[in-house]
Amino acid sequence: MTEGNFVDYVKMHVSSGNGGKGSAHLHREKYIAKGGPDGGDGGRGGHVILRGNSNLWTLIHLKFKRHFRAGHGAHGSSGRSTGADGEDIYIDVPLGTVVRDSETDSVLFEITEDGEEKIVVKGGMGGRGNWHFKNSVNQTPRYAQPGIPLEERDITLELKVLADVGLVGFPNAGKSTLLSVLTSAKPKIADYEFTTLKPNLGIVEYRDFKSFVMADIPGIIEGAAEGKGLGYYFLRHIERNSILLFLIPADAKDIVEQYEILEDELRRYNPEMLDKERLVVISKSDMLDDELKSEISTILDKDLSVDYLFISSVAQQGLTELKDQLWKLLNS
């Protein structure tokens, strides 16, 4: 999937249908002088419904269509005939889509399961026909209820990618390279910062035909809370991850300091992020000899509060151990 095709934020206007009017018809038939009221009910207006679809990964199919309007209910007619219901509109969205009211910014609901359906705006109820109102006192009511008007609102759809492992790191830490080696994903890789501008997903194949999903997001830097770099815009894509995998390059000046900076930025974004399982990976470790690895390990054993591994995506070092460790954490 190319970066231009990854759409994770869409605003739209949705409108349900009006309920149909009830009928105030009086029965007329040969040889029946006073047939009485027989007006039918109006039909229900159509709903606008969001439906989860596991085959979708982005909101790109909604990028150029921003207005959705359901059908109106038909009016009731004679013979107690109920009007037809208005056509419901179904909007398919990928799993992990959060729906907000654009005016209040409040969360309405989230779609997390395939086939799950949620009504965004309900169609108006159809009005009751005059035969509902006849009684011993009023035997010929000549009135019926109007249908209930439609609902409309502006909503915002935000996609939060559902992945098992989320890659966290500074720009050029090797996240995209690791994803390309472990999965069949083809993220953009280059020797300048902020190569990744959109999240990338890949499926990591494990032993015995098992697998798990890994997500790579654009790099975050110190001061992201103040909008530096790409800010916090993409951090919502790792809110649903079970494991946070911190990538720090072996040539970093201070590995522990870089980890603490990343940890602090996540804390400032959402403190609950730090309740997740965490693992630190020292990438590009093919540049290190055994002596340097030993020195770095001594420092990390003393100052780092989480487990760590040395890997090299290019030299294919430590990748099996990494997958074993991730699978263990996922199933612990």
Write out the DSSP string of 267-321: HHH-GGGGGSEEEEEEESGGG--HHHHHHHHHHHHHH--S-EEE-BTTTTBSHHH
pLDDT at 235: 74
pLDDT at 5: 59
pLDDT at 193: 46
Where in the chain do CATH 3.40.50.300 domains reside?
165-331
Q: Which residues of the chain have pLDDT under 50?
A: 1-4, 190, 192-194
**Whole-prediction pTM value?**
0.73
Query: Which residues does the annotation place in the binding site?
Result: 169-176, 194-198, 216-219, 283-286, 312-314
Query: Which residues does the annotation place in the binding site for Mg(2+)?
Result: 176, 196
pLDDT at 100: 94
Q: How far apart are CA 201 and CA 179, in angstroms?
A: 8
pLDDT at 45: 97
Which CATH number, 2.70.210.12, 1.10.540.10, 1.20.120.1760, 2.40.110.10, labels domain 1-161? 2.70.210.12
Question: Which residue spans within 17-88 are E strands per DSSP?
Answer: 48-52, 67-69
Please say whether the structural domain 165-331 has been given the CATH code 3.40.50.1220: no
Query: Which residues does the annotation place in the binding site for GTP?
Result: 169-176, 194-198, 216-219, 283-286, 312-314
pLDDT at 126: 96
Residue 62 near residue 14 (C-beta atoms within 8 A): no
pLDDT at 190: 47
Q: How far apart are CA 193 and CA 116, in angstroms?
A: 39
pLDDT at 30: 85
pLDDT at 164: 86
For residue 219 the two structure tokens come to 């790099």
pLDDT at 129: 95
Where in the chain do CATH 2.70.210.12 domains reside?
1-161
pLDDT at 189: 52
Q: How far apart are CA 166 and CA 328, in angstroms?
A: 16
